[in-house]
Amino acid sequence: MPTPYNMAFACLSCRKSFKREFNLAEEKPKELKCPECGGVAHNLGRHFKAPKKNNLKQWQKIAFLLEHGFRFQKICIEENSIETVPYPETLEAAKEFVVKYKNYAIK
Ligand SMILES: [Zn+2]
């Protein structure tokens, strides 16, 4: 039996995230329907932690990163290195981040 694991989905309109279980072998959707508003909930992977609902700045940052192809995927700069690039903490830092790492964006 494959081990199921959780992926986090976030709805930017509701500013909420929820988890869904997937098997590794299964195709993992990039988007699901938000259970609250019926809008789009984005797959932000296994490591995403949602900010508080009223933390607008953080949600803006997430929306900005998503727009630029960053879904909290791991970014390894050096080959064969386990070190990954930390995601930016603020929207301001995110603006530099998406330029610096644009080659790692998911199209
Ligand atoms: Zn929603």
H/E segment holding residue 68: none
Rounded distance from Cα 57 to ligand 1 centre (Å): 18
pLDDT, mean over the chain:
92
Residue with the bigger pLDDT between 4 and 41: it is 41
Confidence of residue 1 (pLDDT cuts 50, 70, 90): low
Residue 107 has pLDDT above 90, yes or no: no
How many Å is the Cα radius of gyration of the chain? 14
Task: Report, as an integer, the average pLDDT of 20-34.
Answer: 87
DSSP 67: H
Task: Report, as an integer, the average pLDDT of 46-74.
Answer: 95
Rounded distance from Cα 10 to ligand 1 centre (Å): 8
Rounded distance from Cα 11 to ligand 1 centre (Å): 5
